[in-house]
Amino acid sequence: MSNAGLVHEHVLISYPGDTLDPAGWSWDRAACIDRAVERMEQLRDHGVRTFVDPCPIDLGRDPELLAEVAQRSGMQIVCATGFYHEEIGIPWYWRVRTSEEIAELYLHEIEHGISDTGIKPGVIKIATFDPVGEHDRKVVAAAGMASVASGLTCITHCENSVGGDVQQDVLAEQGVDLGRCLIGHQDHTDDANKLIAIAERGSFVGIDRVGYSILTPEDRRVELVKALVDAGHADRVCLSQDHMCCLRSPKFPYAVPPQFAEVYEQILPSVYEQMHGRPHTYLFTDFQPVLEKAGVDRAAFDSMLLDNPRRLFGGAG
């Protein structure tokens, strides 16, 4: 397989406010770049040539770091414009803006580049919380406006696999071609029919947290992929891992209830392994063989990484 594309991965994630923590002031940017270059080279050995990093504006997006990794590794890395969901994202200044004003920001980056870097995003990131909030809807509408004006693909985050239908509704209201949208993080659901419904409306379905067994068992992901294939929607499945090369935050970026503190300390190494520790090649070395045993052959797997991403981004598949 050659020219494969991973549609939802990350080089660097940095949670809002973490750069203020003295515990993180010794963070090694050069070491992060070295690790990312190594990961890209490993992926190239498996035929991956495109690495889509839909890191939103407010989670430490660093286009210059991505450009250096791309230049050193030979990987095509696609960066994004777009805000994260309202639970921990969308800075205050932009919360009080209209959808039209947010769309203007996105389009400015798309047309002129991010800040003064000259680097232009190749995809629009959308994120919604569970439940989908008022600000989430406004930002989804803004993404839709920017997508229609620019022709860029939308890649989404659905917290707990909830809200994909709302995202599709809001995007459709803006006139977006739902066939250019990946409704992401659908591998936590307990109902494959919800994924089939997303595919039937024309969007791609993201089974894109492969390897995160802390969120859902791996065999459940296999069942969901198989259900989509059996329903005739193999051409609407995109596989990825939402895995990062580097985490900038020196402490675990989510609150841990006191009653779970002891358990949290025990499982934290495993959580970090799934977030950023293991190689990005896990999808090929560990997940694909299990998928094939379940009846999804290598040709279908390859198509999910070759043809489907190509069509998602507007190419022939």
Q: Is the pLDDT of residue 45 over 80?
A: yes
**Where are the chain's structural domains?**
4-252+275-312
End-to-end Cα separation, the chain, in angstroms: 15
Residue 315's pLDDT is: 81
Q: Is the pLDDT of residue 194 over 70?
A: yes
| Per-residue pLDDT reduced to its tens digit, 239-254 | 999 999 999 999 998 8
Q: Is the pLDDT of residue 90 over 70?
A: yes
**Cα–Cα nearest to 138, from 187, 180, 105:** 105
4-252+275-312: CATH, from 3.20.20.140, 3.30.930.10, 3.30.70.260, 3.40.50.300: 3.20.20.140
**Cα–Cα nearest to 206, from 244, 231, 162, 237:** 237
- Identify each DSSP E strand in the chain by its residue range: 4-6, 10-13, 48-52, 76-78, 80-81, 123-128, 153-158, 181-183, 204-207, 237-239, 244-247
Q: Is the pLDDT of residue 142 over 60?
A: yes
Average pLDDT of the residues in 21-39: 97
Spatial contact of 228 and 196, defined as CB atoms under 8 Å apart: yes
Residue 261's pLDDT is: 84
Average pLDDT of the residues in 143-170: 98
Average pLDDT of the residues in 279-290: 98
Tokens linked to 25: 């002031």
Q: Is the pLDDT of residue 44 over 80?
A: yes
Q: How many CB atoms lie within 10 A of CB 89?
A: 23
Torsion of CA 45, 49, 50, 53, to 10 degrees: 30
Q: CA neighbours within 13 Å on the CB side: how many for 138?
A: 14
Residue 28's pLDDT is: 97
Q: Is the pLDDT of residue 2 over 80?
A: no
Average pLDDT of the residues in 87-98: 97
For residue 105, name the pLDDT band (cuts at 50, 70, 90): very high
Q: Which of 105-114, 265-274, 303-312 has the lowest mean pLDDT?
A: 265-274
The rounded percent of the chain whose pLDDT value lies above 90 is: 94
Cα–chain center distance at 301:
19
For residue 156, name the pLDDT band (cuts at 50, 70, 90): very high
5's enclosing H/E stretch is: strand 4-6
Residue 316's pLDDT is: 61
Q: Cα(245)–Cα(233) distance, rounded to whole angstroms?
A: 31
Q: Cα(187)–Cα(174) distance, rounded to whole angstroms?
A: 27
- β pairing state of 204-207 and 181-183: parallel
Q: Is the pLDDT of residue 193 over 70?
A: yes
**Cα–Cα nearest to 194, from 154, 155, 167:** 167
